Structure formats: C-alpha cells, structure tokens
Amino acid sequence: MEELRSNFIHDIIDEDLAQNPELKIHTRFPPEPNGYLHIGSAKAIWINAMTAKKYGGQFNLRYDDTNPSKEDNEYVESIYEDLMWLGCEPTGGVFYGSDYFDKCYEYAIKLIKDGKAYVCDLNAEQMREYRGTLTVPGKESPYRNRSVEENRDLFERMKNGEFPDGSKTLREKIDMASSNMNMRDPAIYRIVHISHHRQGNKWCIYPLYDYAHPIQDALEGISHSLCSIEFENHRPLYEWVIDNIGFEKKPKQREFARLNVTHTVMSKRYLRKLVEGKLVDGWDDPRMPTLCGLRRRGYTPASIFDFVARAGVAKAYSVVDYELLEHCIREELNATAERRIAILKPIKVVITNYPEDKVEYFDLPNNPSNPDAGTRKVAFTRELYIDADDFAEVPPPKFFRMKPDGEVRLMGAYIVKCNEIVKDENGNISEIRCTADLETGNGMPTDGRKVKGTIHWLSEKFAKDTTVMLYDFLFDIENTADIPEDKTYDDYLNKASVTKIENAKVEPALENANAGERFQFVRTGYFVKDTKHENTFNRIVGLKDSFPKAK
C-alpha cells in the first residue's frame, strides 16, 4: 500500500505530537452496515488506515450499527471483505457501535442527573418548527424544564418499551439560540421498536450518531476521528458530548473533503434502488462505484489507492475525473498484465496459398515491456479470424489495415495480401481470401517494400468462443451534483452503459483463465475473467489513455 503523503491532517497530528510526544495515534473507520462500500469509502479507509500506519499507531473498524431499521449482516460481512481486499487490516480490532449501548445509556443518565438532558414529547414535525432557521433562533421545548426525577423516570420507561415509536426523544440541553443548528438541543435517543441484528430485542431505544460516535471514539482510545467534511458543523457537538460526559482523554475530530467522481453517484439509497429494481446486476455490477463492483470490473487495491492519493487530501469541494481512475489501472496493468489475442467482431480470412492441413506456431510475447514474462506459442492455420474493424472494403485515407489489394502484417506472423471478398446472399462479407508472403515468416520482405499496418488474428481451428462485456459510465451526465431540481438520477442513466458480445473468439490459453485474472487483449483493452458468470470477460478499461499526463 502506497504511503500516505503529507497533508493538512498530518500537520495537525505533527503539532499534537510536538505538544504530547507520548500520544499514541489511533484512528477508525466507522461505516454504517446499511449498504456496500463504494469508491468514496476507499478515501476514508485509506486516510485512516495509512495515517495510523505512518505514525506507528492502530486502526479500528467499527460498525455504526445504531439504526436497526436499515442494517443487515450481509453488509457487515461485505464491509469486512472489502477492507481485507484493500489490505487495510483493522490492527486495533473490530468493534460495533452496539457494543456500547449500555455505556451510552449510562452516560445519558449522567447527563440527565447533571441537568444537561431532558425527555421531550414534541414529534418530529414540531421539533423542526421549534428548531428555527439559520436566521431565526429556535424556541425552547415546553418540556425542556422537566425535573431531573421526571426525566429519569420517563427515560427509564422509554427503555422499558412503554411508549410508541416517535412519541418521545431524549434531547441534550444546550442552546436553542446557537448559530450552529446542531447545538439547538439535539435529540440523542429515539424510540424504535425493531429487533437489532446483534442485540435482538434487548433495546427499543437507540442512540443517535452525533451522541454515540464521540462516546465510541473515547472508549476505544481514538486519538483522531478523521471524517468527511459534512461533519465539520457537528464538531462542536462532538466536543460537547466528550466534555460533558467527562472523558479525560479527548479524541480530536478533523474533517476532509469527500471523494466525488464524475459520472458517478455515491448515494447508498440510490445504489440500493438500482439493485432492488434490477437495473444492475447486483451490488457488484461492474458499472457500480461499489468496491465489490470495481473488484469485479478488474480494478486492483493498488490502482484505487493510487487514484485516491492523486486526487489528494484537502478540505475544498472538488470532483475528480473518472479518467484518472482509468489512468491508474491502465498504468498498472500495462506493466503487469499478460497479453492475449481476442477477436470481438470475427470475420473469416482464408490464406489460399497455405496448406489446408498445416499447423504452424509463432512465438508471441506475454508482455513486451517485461521480457521475464516470456513468450507463448500461437497456432497459425489456413483459415483465420481477424476483427471486422481491421478491414475496409472502401478504405478511408491513411487506412493501413486490411483492404482490397493491400498488404498488412498479421501480428508476429506473415504479411498477407487481400485478393478477394466473398459475400453472402444478403451482401454481407462471409470471408476474405488472401495470399501470404510465405518467405517473410515474421520478418520483413526481402525486396525492401514497406508494410505499415499490423493486425491481430487467430486460427479458426483453435480459437475458443467466449462472452465479452463492454462497460461504460453508468450515468451520462458528468457531474451528478448538477442535476436540475426537476430531474432525478434516473433521467441520466446511460442506456448504453453495457454491451454484451457473444461468440467472441479468444486464444485457447484464455479458456483456463482463473476468475479475477487480468489480461491485455492486444490492440483492444484490458479485461478480467468474470467472477460471477462462466466464460465471460469484462472490459476493465480501453487501451487509449486520454488523461493528461501532467495530472
């Protein structure tokens, strides 16, 4: 894993260490198990895990399972799987927010006793009305001045299940006139009569995130709670909870900008809608921005973290071009992926001057940029396949591939000349007949003539059928944050986001490729053997890199 480059978060930590050299750096990643992790999650994981690693500290995984209505063990397992795939082992341990329910309740009683929390009977709509606006102060709840004894009794009865959902909340008593809306007596407990995925029916009151999270951080000894920028305005509340409960060791919350990527939606709610509506092939559909989707698409942990590192760690809002992610995986696979031949649009070629029963083998490099990768033998026979895109009956200017009466190099093998085009009754080309310069082998003509074009090919006899999936952006709008108010994400779903090619032709060696194994299909792009459907290859990214090298 690439080491985290210095940034403003590390400047903060360096200052803290200068003041307290004994400080042990301890970070955490606290996902809510209500969906699958996505590329944006990778940034939070990378920052927290690599910060802990840089300073010789520890990194926790803590499931924020305080909302039982949305949580599922499926998501718990997927989150851990994604973390381990990324190589970010939680060195400090794996925890659950629900592990701290007893402590959260105990601290809530303390706040009540100290006159800093009260039970409120306002419903959600009334609370919004009382809260005020950015320019109008809030109004105090009529229940704000209940006695300590009454609040304790009501809170105990809330816990015992005497009241229906939404009928009461426990609120912190802070300041209804605060300029920070989060400090206007926020609710810290709500009544939810739903079984919890780990706690069962033990509880029917659940703490809210802004209350539970700082408690969890403090109890785990987190030194720096590093989170995305939307929590910046919540920081005073985070610190209020820590101070008023009375923790001696105080974790420090600091925020960074979220990772926004072009042509991508990060909303778990919307991604779940796509899955449940069967608009995609599950959470791991290769078009999805989920980590399992990117994994199935063929992206590697190294390429994802390289992308996050290049995008940078800052506080300012920005949208990162998806082409940078493609550049990162393309750069990695150019150096590591073995080359194979695949013909996506096969058209038959007959070498008329080549013996019908002859089989010849040519050595082709597994990776031209890595001689240690060696070579492989590819069979050559009289009847071949080439890609239809490599032939033009009426060629445009400067077309150096196969054309009538033109010569072209078959990659690593003979130079051939197109002599005849055979068409079926519908006028479609059924085969192309050529003659080979059998004196050339894979060398140059002895008479000095120049042959500019080179195309890939496969023996018809030995080629194997496969299915190839070509993926494009899931959304055809660049910045999904710019969608007009009268439109939704649905309006910008890319109807051409996937193309399925059946009966593509590939080298025999690809027939035994392992699921998840990556290759460069020469002159075509980078592909991965699908992990879900047999005999299928998913395009990871094309060969052409349009991302500016200076970035």
Q: Which residues are catalytically annotated?
A: 32, 258, 268
CA-CA distances (angstroms) from residue 418 to 34, 290, 356, 430, 447? 60, 47, 18, 14, 19
If we measure between CA atoms, which residue out of 478, 516, 525 comes closest to residue 85?
516
Which residue carries 């381990």 as its tokens? 84
Distance of alpha carbon 419 from the chain centroid: 50
Show the beta-strand stretches assigned E in 30-120: 58-63, 93-96, 117-120
Query: Distance (Å, rounded) from C-alpha 45 to C-alpha 506?
Result: 38
Question: Is the dihedral angle over the CA atoms 133, 134, 139, 140 positive or is it negative?
Answer: positive
17 token code pair: 């260490």
| Distance of alpha carbon 398 from alpha carbon 324, whole angstroms | 31
**Both tokens of residue 117?**
């929390």
> CA–CA distance from 456 to each of 359, 396, 459, 513 (Å)?
17, 20, 11, 20
Residue 230 DSSP one-character state: G
Q: 3-state class of 468 per DSSP?
A: strand
Other Cβ atoms within 10 Å of 429 Cβ, number? 14
Q: Which DSSP helix (H) or strand (E) runs through 476?
A: none
